Structure 1
């Protein structure tokens, strides 16, 4: 597959992920969030396994792999999805999408702490810009802490948990196909979320009854297209073009989340949110190391051209 085709697929995945913030917002307003999320993630995991069975990529995990998958599932699925769904029930889809845009930046910070990645001056500038962008968003229209909603905090915890899981996924994928790892994490995470829902939402399953076909269409589109196909497609792209190039496309997520919130939910996009998005965008490009990677690549290509 040519790079242009992979880039086009990544672009479509970012559209799906951005709009999925809006879809999740709609779902949590109509279903009990934790129960709905558990069932949605289970459908996603089931979809991944059906695909992997069809290409004969399913196998049992070793004890070491299971540990990575289990802890990764707790962070990437249970914590991330729990706080995402409960957070979106208490904040706007626009705010949620913009805060989720911090993913690559938080991953880079954790990589510095736990994997020994270098922390350059450019990355420090990026981290400051990214955090400033989030500050603009959560404090919009207020003079202090009153501007920070519980939903905004939950969304931040959600993306922090997911970023932490990427460190474990990187370790686990050394011996395990990332797509298979994704499938196991989704199913295990869904089971744990469902157990939690029985305690925090005793009437959760009853809340899933008597809804429109359109709402169920959103549910299955979110589960199958955004989560199952999106995760597998993104993981596959990382293997083909590298993590640095693939992560650049994550910068499109907040943009499509804003578009989805405005177009489908009628949410008003403020100047403050746009300014926050711009700061987060520059923060992610600089803080995640993507700028340095691009600079090295351009310099390397230039030197090769001169050598010829």
Structure 2
């Protein structure tokens, strides 16, 4: 991969992280303006249809096998239904700032679950990362506007949301061996949105009747969130993993948390406290150590030094 192409991928990732970060306060606005589960199901269905339109133009659509369908169902229940249900409900009970910071633990949780479920024995650096990330999350979920307070149920729901998504990544990594991750994403979004819609009809009987009361600006936000953040964002991120590798790509997820903080302050006027910044610092350190990023950088340095010594020896 050329240096120019690598930098182009880096710029794309920065753009995605900005969109995803700003999407957290956008979601907070949407779940406040509408009934949370119903509007989330419609947003994800719109995203799924957008993915299929793009893949249709690319001629990448095919019918999944029976085994792949099981991955779609299990991945959809975790990645879409559980993740988005608890996120939408959780954001109605906590701040966008707390939500964005807790979502920032995604790569850390994914690395931890991979170590447990795939029996990848964690190294000392990864264990340190898990501990640092745990400290960061603890600081955030225990912090109130003026100091440390009680655990918020909304924070807990957002944590369950990101835990479900992290667990789904283990399933997705296995499914991606035979099914294009972008097509897998499309199927999961459509399947999951239908299940969410049914849950919304049960829990929010008047959900659809509330849709007509929203302003044009809210609907612009809805389609931007669905088509740009959820559909295009996930497709570009999955493509970037293929270009750079999971470890190098995960570094950029730290920016997601940073942009969600900026977005919450700019668009919702939420206060960023010293506890949020301290928690963010611990999460970033935890992700770098726990996701294997630091180890990969150390390994690259060692290899470069070895090759340099070999070249000097042969001169």
TM-score normalised by length of structure 2: 0.95
2:28 is the alignment partner of 1:25? yes
Q: Which residue of 2 aligns with 1:204?
A: 207
Separation in 2, partners of 1:138, 1:55: 43
For the 8 Å contact 2:101–2:280, the answer to whether it is kept is yes
What is the Cα-based RMSD across aligned positions, in Å? 1.2
Q: Which residue of 2 aligns with 1:185?
A: 188
After superposition, what is the alpha-carbon deviation per residue over 1:16-48, rounded to whole angstroms, capped at 9, x for unaligned? 000000100000110000000000000000000
After superposition, what is the alpha-carbon deviation per residue over 1:122-166, rounded to whole angstroms, capped at 9, x for unaligned? 11111111111111111114887x521110000000000000000
Separation in 2, partners of 1:214, 1:49: 26
The number of equivalent residue pairs is 307
| Alignment map for 1:289-308 (pairs within 5 Å) | 289-308=292-311
Q: Which residue of 1 aligns with 2:156?
A: 153
2:77 is the alignment partner of 1:66? no
Separation in 2, partners of 1:24, 1:215: 11
List gaps (5 residues or longer) in structure 2.
none
After superposition, what is the alpha-carbon deviation per residue over 1:69-89, rounded to whole angstroms, capped at 9, x for unaligned? 110000000000000000001
| Alignment map for 1:88-103 (pairs within 5 Å) | 88-103=91-106
List gaps (5 residues or longer) in structure 1.
none
What is the Cα deviation at residue 218 of structure 1? 0.5
Separation in 2, partners of 1:30, 1:61: 37
Match of 1:127 among 122, 130, 141: 130
Match of 1:261 among 264, 278, 281: 264
What is the Cα deviation at residue 242 of structure 1? 0.6
2:6 is the alignment partner of 1:35? no
| Alignment map for 1:43-122 (pairs within 5 Å) | 43-122=46-125
For the 8 Å contact 2:142–2:152, the answer to whether it is kept is no
For the 8 Å contact 2:32–2:92, the answer to whether it is kept is yes
Q: Which residue of 2 aligns with 1:171?
A: 174
Separation in 2, partners of 1:210, 1:166: 37
Secondary structure of the residue aligned to 2:252 is helix
Separation in 1, partners of 2:150, 2:289: 27
Q: Which residue of 2 aligns with 1:239?
A: 242
TM-score normalised by length of structure 1: 0.97
What is the Cα deviation at residue 105 of structure 1? 0.5
What is the Cα deviation at residue 118 of structure 1? 2.3
